[in-house]
Structure 1
Amino acid sequence: MNAITGMTGLAMADTEAAEVLARDGDAFAVRLEGREAPARRAFSCLVEPEPGDIVLLGRAGSVRYILAVLERPGAAPMRLALPDGATLAADGGRLNLSAGTLVMEAETTQLATKALGVTARKADANLGRASLVAEAIESLAERIIGRFRRSYRFIEESEQLRARDIDQRASGHLHLRGETANLQAGVLVKLHGSQIHLG
């Protein structure tokens, strides 16, 4: 893969090809005309060279720089090495990432946007702890199933539930309590138990 390297203020000699022998950070050892020589990766060479790669060298003074990786004989994947604080920008335009599988790994991830749209046929999330703060939440679904060990809801004002049929069951104790309780039925109210206490 070629890279365009600007060397402002530096007089570049003729470029030459070499083979990478070893790498130690940004310092490399290359085989050049049958002998070993040191080289550094140019700032604009984003592809990280690996031992065995055929690279293009340029010289500025006494320092040789790897300008581009010309060929990789092995099957090692390409790795783009960006410096700390690097930015991919499409100012005022659009940036597209396209892949059969997209994998993102990071110690910390931050996302800030004015509008977010996500479309997926299936979504799986494994979270250790999740916190959500929102001004308003609206959900529309054909079916919702939740399985919890414990569930707590604290509502400061009012809660409304409207459904055609409601079925609530407790294998243990069911406790309904309110300062005022109002139970109405248009056809039938039925209470059944081995003991019923009123009052």
Structure 2
Amino acid sequence: MLMQADDELFVQGVIHEIGEVERTLDATVTVSTPYGLRRARLAASCLVRPGPGDTVLVAGRGDACFVLSVLERHAEGPLELHLDRDTRLDVQGQLSVQTTGATRFGSATEVAIDAPSVELRGDKVALTGAQVSIAAQSLTWMADTLEATARWCRQVADVWSLRARHHQREVEEMELVRVGHLDLQAQQVMNLRARHTVLRSDELTKVDGKQVQVG
């Protein structure tokens, strides 16, 4: 690069060095080079955050020094990609992420997935949260075994329909039913049994059958 000052031309070049990282700070790293220790910043193109012991390529010009890339990884711990600003990944096609170990996504605020169709598959799927909300125009549950456990459960519906081959319900204490009309029908046998049974109506009580036995 040519620079002109006081009517004189000075040539100022960029020096490339290969060194070893001695220590790292939040914004800078200290690199040991054949010309001594250099304090360098990470270049925008250096996405891999270097660690102590890594071999890096350093470029310097004057007092400015930057780590361009990590050539060899010797530091312990996982490989860390560093992005110091909002980042957008634009792929004109399909994007696949495949790992041989666990895959984790984390955020300090929120994680959002926006797509016309979202599919989640797994042999074992666990959803844990302090508050979980599901809102859908149509929701379908299909399972071989479905179990729900809650300390308090409330269900509200305009129409509630239940169809099963066998239905069993157990209430340890009190069951309270309030309906506008109640119609109980059994094709074979209906058995009402209690220590005390009270039948009460304000106007009419009717018992109809071919045989009526009392006692």
TM-score (norm 1): 0.86
Q: Give me the whole-angstrom Cα distance separating, in 2, the residues matched to 1:190 and 1:147.
A: 29
SS at match of 1:15: strand
Question: Is the alpha carbon distance of 1:125 and 1:177 closer, same or farther for their aligned partners in structure 2, counting shifts above 3 Å?
Answer: same
Residue 84 of structure 1, CA deviation: 2.2
Matches within 5 A, 1:9-28: 13-28=14-29
Which residue does the alignment assign to 2:136?
134
Q: What fraction of aligned residue pairs are identical, expressed as a percent? A: 24
Are the structure 2 counterparts of residues 189 and 12 from structure 1 closer, same or farther at C-alpha, using a change threshold of 3 Å?
Answer: farther
Matches of 1:164 and 1:77, distance apart in 2: 55
Which of 125, 128, 136 is matched with 2:127 structurally?
125
Question: In the aligned structure 2, how far is the partner of 1:76 from the partner of 1:130?
Answer: 34
Per-residue CA deviations over 1:90-121 (Å, capped at 9, x if unaligned) read 13x11111112112222221221211011111
User: Which range is displaced more, 146-155 or 28-37?
Assistant: 28-37
Q: CA deviation at 1:60?
A: 4.4
Give CA deviations for 1:142-194 in whole Å, capped at 9, x if unaligned: 11011221111122x11110111211111111222211111111222221111
CA contact (8 A) 2:16 2:58 kept: yes
What is the aligned partner in structure 2 of residue 3 from structure 1?
none
Shift of 1:67: 0.7
Superposed counterparts of 1:45-124, under 5 Å: 45-60=46-61, 62-91=63-92, 93-100=93-100, 101-107=102-108, 108-124=110-126
Counterpart of 2:85 in structure 1: which amino acid?
D
**Structure 2: runs of 5 or more not aligned:** 1-11, 201-215
Gaps of 5+ in 1: 1-10
- Which residue identity does 1:173 align to in structure 2? M
Q: Which has the higher contact order (CA 8 A, sep 6+)?
A: 1
Question: Mean alpha-carbon deviation: is it higher for 159-168 or for 22-31?
Answer: 22-31
Instruction: Report how far residue 22 of structure 1 moved.
Output: 2.3
Bigger-Rg structure (1/2): 2
Deviates more, 1:144-153 or 1:32-41: 32-41
Question: TM-score scaled to structure 2, two decimals?
Answer: 0.80
Whichever residue aligns with residue 95 of structure 2, its letter is L
Which secondary structure does the structure 2 equivalent of 1:67 belong to?
A: strand
